């Protein structure tokens, strides 16, 4: 009986990669753009997954958050637990690509709040050029901008213009570019939308990425609940305190189906 239970645990154990926290995109060597997220949700999911006997690697911009989630001296510090820090978007991109190509992961839970844009130049208005805010247009003959990029951008201009370009959607690269074939979980957060619109946006995003599961929430609603799909073909509202449990159960069920057909 004990041996059968042990073999069942071994058979169900997975190698899981969890991303958490925010990414920074540099403006110059001392400034950057980031977001407000600390990675607490992703870290909690990673700690919970380890408690269910999975081999867990946590990529996070805030490794200190893990210490707040485990009892002093009783954290999951063993060979099945790794915390790998990152700071910038480029750091996370490199770690994910290496992990997808060489890590042998069964599942990826991509919870990190990744930068959608990155700076690609910083400019000031040239002499004779001004921006008309009321008309939202440039004025000049012709209007011109001058490059002000530097290792530390000077602070003597009355205003500066930062050019932003789209970053690659890392979650979209996992299947298409990096060859990942395991269970993929994507997170989606929206602001200022209702429940139905949130779910419609999230389902389109899940299909675009080829993700197996989607966790959707709004900024205001995130402390209370999240929506997980597909469970029985629909999104299910999950109380925040139960999210890690329900998500890991869904991931384990999908992996079990793939292993045993």
pLDDT of 69 reads 80
68-77 average pLDDT score: 64
57: nearest Cα among 115, 113, 107, 9: 107
Q: Which stretch of 16-30, 178-192, 225-239 has the lowest confidence by average pLDDT?
A: 225-239
pLDDT category at 74 given cuts 50, 70, 90 is: low
Q: Does pLDDT of 225 surpass 90?
A: yes
Distance from C-alpha of 36 to C-alpha of 204, rounded to nearest angstrom: 25
pLDDT of 12 reads 75
pLDDT of 4 reads 41
pLDDT in tens, 149-207: 999 999 999 999 999 999 999 999 999 999 999 999 999 999 999 999 999 999 999 99
Q: Does pLDDT of 75 surpass 70?
A: no
> Rounded to a whole number, what is the distance in angstroms from the first to the last CA of the chain?
25
70-75 average pLDDT score: 58
- What angle do the packed helices 2-12 and 243-260 form, to 10 degrees? 100
215: nearest Cα among 257, 246, 241: 246
Buried b (16+ CB within 10 A) or exposed e, 67-103: eeeeeeeeebeeebbebeebebbebbbebbeebbeeb
Q: Does pLDDT of 9 surpass 60?
A: no
pLDDT of 2 reads 44
CA distances from 90 to 23, 94, 118, 146, 170 (A): 9, 6, 10, 27, 10
Q: 104: buried, middle or exposed (CB in 10 Å: 19+, 13-18, 0-12)?
A: exposed
pLDDT in tens, 86-103: 999 999 999 999 999 999
pLDDT of 71 reads 59
pLDDT category at 232 given cuts 50, 70, 90 is: confident
pLDDT of 86 reads 97
Q: 24: buried, middle or exposed (CB in 10 Å: 19+, 13-18, 0-12)?
A: buried
Residue indicated by tokens 């040239």: 126
Domains and CATH numbers, the chain: 2-116+167-260 (3.40.50.10300), 119-163 (no CATH)
Contact by Cβ (8 Å): 67, 74: no
Q: Does pLDDT of 247 surpass 60?
A: yes
Q: Which residues contact 167 (CB under 8 A, 6 or more apart)?
A: 25, 89, 114, 115, 116, 117, 118
33-52 average pLDDT score: 94
Residue indicated by tokens 């407000």: 36
Distance of CA 74 to the CA centre of its chain: 27
pTM comes to 0.90
pLDDT of 11 reads 54
Q: Which residues contact 251 (CB under 8 A, 6 or more apart)?
A: 14, 16, 107, 109, 183, 185, 213
Q: How many CA atoms lie within 13 A of 115 on its CB side?
A: 23
Where does 183-242 have alpha helices with state H? Answer: 195-209
Q: Does pLDDT of 73 surpass 80?
A: no
pLDDT of 79 reads 85
pLDDT of 85 reads 97
């Amino acid at each position: 009986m004990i041996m059968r239970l042990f073999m069942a645990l071994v058979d169900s154990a997975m190698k899981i990669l969890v991303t958490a926290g925010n990414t920074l995109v540099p403006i110059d060597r001392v400034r950057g753009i980031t977001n407000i997220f600390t990675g607490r949700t992703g870290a909690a999911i990673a700690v919970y997954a380890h408690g269910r006997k999975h081999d867990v690697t946590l990529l996070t911009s805030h490794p200190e958050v893990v210490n707040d989630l485990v009892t002093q001296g009783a954290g999951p510090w063993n060979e099945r637990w790794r915390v790998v820090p990152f700071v910038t978007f480029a750091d996370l991109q490199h770690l994910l690509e290496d992990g997808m190509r060489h890590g042998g992961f069964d599942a990826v839970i991509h919870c990190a709040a990744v930068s959608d844009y990155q700076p690609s130049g910083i400019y000031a208005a040239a002499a004779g050029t001004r921006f008309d805010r009321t008309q939202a247009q440039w004025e000049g003959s012709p209007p011109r901008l001058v490059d002000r990029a530097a290792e530390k951008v000077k602070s003597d201009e009355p205003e500066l213009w930062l050019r932003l370009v789209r970053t690659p959607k890392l979650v979209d690269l996992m299947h298409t570019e990096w060859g990942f074939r395991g269970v993929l979980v994507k997170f989606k957060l929206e602001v200022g939308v209702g429940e139905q619109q949130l779910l419609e946006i999230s389902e389109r995003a899940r299909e675009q990425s080829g993700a197996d599961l989607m966790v959707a929430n709004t900024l205001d609603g995130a402390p209370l609940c999240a929506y997980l799909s597909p469970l029985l073909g629909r999104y299910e509202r999950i109380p925040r305190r139960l999210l890690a449990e329900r998500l890991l159960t869904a991931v384990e069920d999908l992996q079990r189906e793939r292993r045993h057909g």
